Amino acid sequence: MPRKLILDVDPGIDDAVAICMSLFDPNLEVVAVTSVGGNVPPQQAARNVQVILSQMDPPRWPRIGAATAPEHGLPTEGRRIFGPDGLGGVPFEAAVRRDLHPSEKVICDEVRAAPEAVTILALGPLTNIARAFLRDPQLPSVLGQLVIVGGTVSGPGNITPAAEFNIYCDPQAARAVFRAPCTKTLIPLDVTNRVELTLDILHRLPDENSRVGRFLRKILPATFRAYRQELGLESIRIHDVVGLVALTHPELFSFVEMAGDVETMGELTLGATVFDRRRVPAWRHNIAVATEVDKQGVIEEILRSLHAAAAASEL
Ligand code: RIB
Ligand code: CA
């Protein structure tokens, strides 16, 4: 029985690759792809989801949720890495629907439709998840599992010295989600930063005779260029894809139950994820955190999954 999955995304090229892999994974049934502002503004995120789905044209189209603006603004600095439109500036056509329901409504509908059977993979700021829990306060008790890409345990942030981007974009939402009574797993930067793709990966991608291969070969070169220009790095990180592999192949990771919370007030520490790792912790465990990863195993699984997706999406 395929696992029912909601992808909550702010595409973003690493979100896009994770979506491509999920749509053609026979072990997953993507029931919804809900957009959230983050790497790009909300409307662009909703457009990018529709671009990706149009490019992939999966056998079963998931429901799409429209991102709505957060109460506060989104950070603009430091997100040029995916290009002005979030997909590397590649000119994609897409029929953009104007009748989409808000992401939080789609999340509530789909979780309620399959109590305790749906997993949410949160690959962007946690705005939609927190709003869904506000809309339906019993939702955490009927949600199967929530897997979150973001935060840090002991490593540095990536948008500020203290904070990771997804948490930093909406710290209040992140705190509410960390405190929600549901099964949560966190895949932090400490782990996702260790999986680096070097340029040779471009020669190992599926060829252009498939929708997946054609799409990847358009968006990934732009990411390597951006990482080099913006960060001076010759390799790229695809945090969200690592998060997806943590969901589909947890055997490639180690997890530790922790007690975590989110800083919502700090001038320098806003959006930092804080964990009680004292010898005698006072906070109660509330989240399983990935602490180790088999880097090479994850890279091989990413390539296997992309080639399988390409075989299922031949032109
Ligand atoms: O910090 C990495 C995360 O922020 C990834 O999900 C990336 O897509 C951005 O959303
Ligand atoms: Ca993302």
Can you give the pLDDT of all 315 residues of the chain as single tens digits?
A: 999 999 999 999 999 999 999 999 999 999 999 999 999 999 999 999 999 999 999 999 999 999 998 777 787 665 678 988 999 999 998 888 989 999 999 999 999 999 999 999 999 999 999 999 999 999 999 999 999 999 999 999 999 999 999 999 999 999 999 999 999 999 999 999 999 999 999 999 999 999 999 999 999 998 999 999 988 999 999 999 999 999 999 999 999 999 999 999 999 999 999 999 999 999 999 999 999 999 999 999 999 999 999 999 999
Which atom of ligand 1 is the closest one to the Cα of 124?
10
Q: Which ligand is nearest to the Cα of residue 189, counting in written order?
A: 1
Residues serving a catalytic function are: 239
Centre of ligand 2 from the C-alpha of residue 280, in Å: 34
Ligand 1 pocket check for 166: Cβ under 6 Å? yes
pLDDT of residue 77: 60
Return the structure tokens found at 109: 């509908």
**In this structure, what are the phi and psi dihedrals at residue 258, rounded to the nearest 5 degrees?**
-135, 170
Centre of ligand 1 from the C-alpha of residue 166, in Å: 6
Burial grade of 225 (CB within 10 A; 0-12, 13-18, 19 or more):
middle
Cβ within 8 Å of residue 107, ≥6 positions away? 6, 8, 32, 34, 65, 120, 128, 129, 132, 139
39/36 Cα distance (integer angstroms): 9
pLDDT of residue 24: 97
- Best probe residue, ligand 1, of 240, 241, 247 (max atoms within 8 Å of C-beta): 240
pLDDT of residue 84: 86
pLDDT of residue 93: 85
Q: Which ligand is nearest to the Cα of residue 166, counting in written order?
A: 1
- Best probe residue, ligand 1, of 149, 153, 273 (max atoms within 8 Å of C-beta): 149
pLDDT of residue 70: 78
Which atom of ligand 1 is the closest one to the Cα of 166?
4
Q: Which ligand is nearest to the Cα of residue 168, counting in written order?
A: 1
Burial grade of 177 (CB within 10 A; 0-12, 13-18, 19 or more):
buried
Centre of ligand 1 from the C-alpha of residue 9, in Å: 9
End-to-end CA distance of the chain, in Å? 28
Centre of ligand 1 from the C-alpha of residue 236, in Å: 12
Instruction: Answer yes or no: are the C-beta atoms of 195 and 293 closer than 8 Å.
Output: yes
Instruction: Answer yes or no: are the C-beta atoms of 242 and 187 closer than 8 Å.
Output: yes
Q: Say if domain 3-312 classifies as CATH 3.40.50.720.
A: no
Ligand 1 pocket check for 164: Cβ under 6 Å? yes
